[in-house]
């Protein structure tokens, strides 16, 4: 009888202990994102094809890996020409479906289209109103970016001057107050921030008035060299290339769009890498373009429309985009990348795309534009170097 009681007590003890541990593991107040550099994050969409995270080598378990997330165009709604183009709840819910991804990196970057301005400003004059839009978001919308985890944004695009000097000044002030770094205007050609002991430099370029020119390669290289002397990792953003699904392929030639020289994006990206850039993120075409590798440095030629509310064409390729997470070593050398596909629903809210659209586009475009690339893209979004199997000596 005594043995039975002892055995019963032991069983009850282990059941109670197991239950307590289970509750401890599931407590919502225990943050897990702090472990981003200690464990391999799970790719958001997994399919049977391609290697999964369990196939990764032990190098992923070191603390020497740096992760940088890049996304495409961001315009969270505009009160111009009227407030019907603003989202409900001040846009606070727009990025919520992808918070868990955006926050899971050493640094997160995006391209901010339009201005943050509560006043009127001086709206730009358009030669062709059918092709011209002006974007003005309330200044408090900057905190939607903070909540989502953004550290840096590019201001080098054709909408940074939509509301004249008042718009530029207000945008810079709002971003500064919120603690988000920025670059790309003539007054602010570069920036450096520190995250987790790593100094990140960023410069941004475009073919537009008031921005640092994408056409002046010598100046772009000078800026990158200066950044490289003062930062561990250098990120370059460019706004270039023709727009739309009809111009989704990278031609590696000078691209014109409605008479405007949008640059030779291949020559630009490789030139800044020659000068010391470690990651190059492209924007401008409003569709996803191919990725590539040059001198062990990662290039994304266009990250498409990420969160573009109400005033954008979101049909077909225009409505899907990748969130790209780049893994590098402390020298900026490419290790691998992950592409999480998103699509915009409603009037422009990014959600995970279970149809894997942006990944399939990236696979197709890599085959078409860079068939000799060192990279391979798997169905689960993993981007890595092709495995070269050496032939055995006879």
pLDDT tens string for the chain (394 positions)?
A: 444 444 444 444 444 444 443 443 333 332 333 323 223 333 333 333 433 333 344 344 456 899 999 999 999 999 999 999 999 999 999 999 999 999 999 999 999 999 999 999 999 987 765 667 999 999 999 999 999 999 999 999 999 999 999 999 999 999 999 999 999 999 999 999 999 999 999 999 999 999 999 999 999 999 999 999 999 999 999 999 999 999 999 999 999 999 999 999 999 999 999 999 999 999 999 999 999 999 999 999 999 999 999 999 999 999 999 999 999 999 999 999 999 999 999 999 999 999 999 999 999 999 999 999 999 999 999 999 998 655 444 4
Which tokens go with 51?
Answer: 């290697």
Buried b vs exposed e over 328-348: b needs ≥16 C-beta within 10 Å?
A: bbeebebbbbbbbbbbbeebb
pLDDT at 4: 44
pLDDT at 13: 47
344: closest CA among 312, 371, 376, 307?
A: 307
Q: Which structural domains are found in the chain, ordered by start?
A: 37-385 (3.60.21.10)
What Å distances lie between residue 366 and 61, 223, 283, 305, 321, CA to CA?
29, 29, 17, 19, 15
| Pairwise CA distance, residues 97 & 103, whole Å | 12
300: closest CA among 108, 68, 107, 70?
A: 70
For the chain, how far is it from start to end, CA to CA, in angstroms?
74
Q: Which residues touch 144 (CB under 8 Å, ≥6 apart)?
A: 76, 90, 91, 92, 94, 95
260: closest CA among 74, 132, 81, 167?
A: 132
Which tokens go with 373?
Answer: 């690339």
The residues facing 109 across adjacent strands are: 70, 152
Alpha-carbon dihedral of residues 136, 141, 142, 143, nearest 10 degrees? 180
| Pairwise CA distance, residues 354 & 342, whole Å | 8
pLDDT at 28: 33
pLDDT at 132: 75
> Are β-strands 256-257 and 260-261 bridged in parallel, bridged antiparallel, or unpaired?
antiparallel
47: closest CA among 386, 326, 387, 382?
A: 382
pLDDT at 56: 41
Q: Which residues touch 350 (CB under 8 Å, ≥6 apart)?
A: 94, 95, 97, 98, 306, 307, 321, 342, 343, 344
């Amino acid at each position: 009888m005594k043995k039975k009681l002892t055995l019963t007590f032991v069983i009850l003890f282990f059941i109670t202990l197991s239950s307590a541990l289970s509750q401890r593991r599931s407590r919502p107040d225990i943050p897990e994102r702090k472990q981003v550099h200690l464990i391999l994050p799970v790719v958001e969409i997994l399919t049977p094809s391609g290697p999964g995270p369990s196939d990764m080598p032990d190098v992923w378990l070191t603390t020497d890996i740096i992760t940088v997330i890049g996304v495409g165009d961001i315009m969270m709604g505009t009160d111009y020409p009227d407030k019907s183009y603003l989202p409900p709840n001040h846009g606070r819910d727009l990025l919520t479906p992808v918070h868990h991804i955006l926050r899971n990196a050493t640094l997160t970057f995006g391209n901010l289209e339009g201005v943050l301005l509560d006043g009127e400003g001086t709206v730009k004059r358009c030669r062709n109103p059918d092709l011209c839009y002006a974007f003005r978001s309330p200044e408090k919308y900057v905190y939607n970016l903070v909540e989502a985890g953004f550290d840096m944004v590019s201001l080098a695009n054709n909408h940074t001057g939509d509301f004249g000097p008042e718009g530029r000044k207000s945008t810079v002030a709002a971003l500064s107050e919120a603690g988000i770094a920025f670059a790309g205007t003539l007054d602010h050609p570069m920036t450096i921030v520190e995250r987790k002991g790593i100094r990140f430099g960023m410069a941004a370029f475009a073919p537009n008035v008031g921005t640092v020119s994408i056409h002046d390669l010598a100046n772009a290289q000078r800026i990158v060299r200066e950044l490289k002397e003062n930062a561990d990792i250098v990120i370059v953003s460019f706004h270039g290339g023709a727009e739309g699904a009809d111009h989704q392929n990278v031609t590696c030639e000078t691209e014109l769009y409605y008479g405007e020289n949008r640059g030779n994006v291949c020559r630009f990206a490789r030139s800044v890498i020659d000068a010391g850039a470690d990651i190059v993120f492209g924007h401008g075409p409003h569709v996803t373009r191919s990725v590539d590798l040059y001198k062990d440095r990662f290039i994304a030629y266009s990250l498409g429309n990420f969160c573009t509310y109400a005033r954008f064409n979101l049909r077909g390729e225009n409505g899907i985009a990748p969130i790209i997470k780049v893994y590098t070593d402390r020298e900026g050398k490419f290790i691998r990348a992950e592409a999480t596909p998103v699509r915009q629903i409603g009037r422009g809210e990014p959600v995970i795309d279970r149809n894997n659209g942006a990944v399939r586009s990236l696979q197709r475009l890599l085959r078409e534009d860079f068939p000799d690339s060192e990279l391979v893209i798997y169905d689960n979004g993993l981007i890595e170097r092709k495995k070269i199997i050496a032939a055995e000596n006879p």
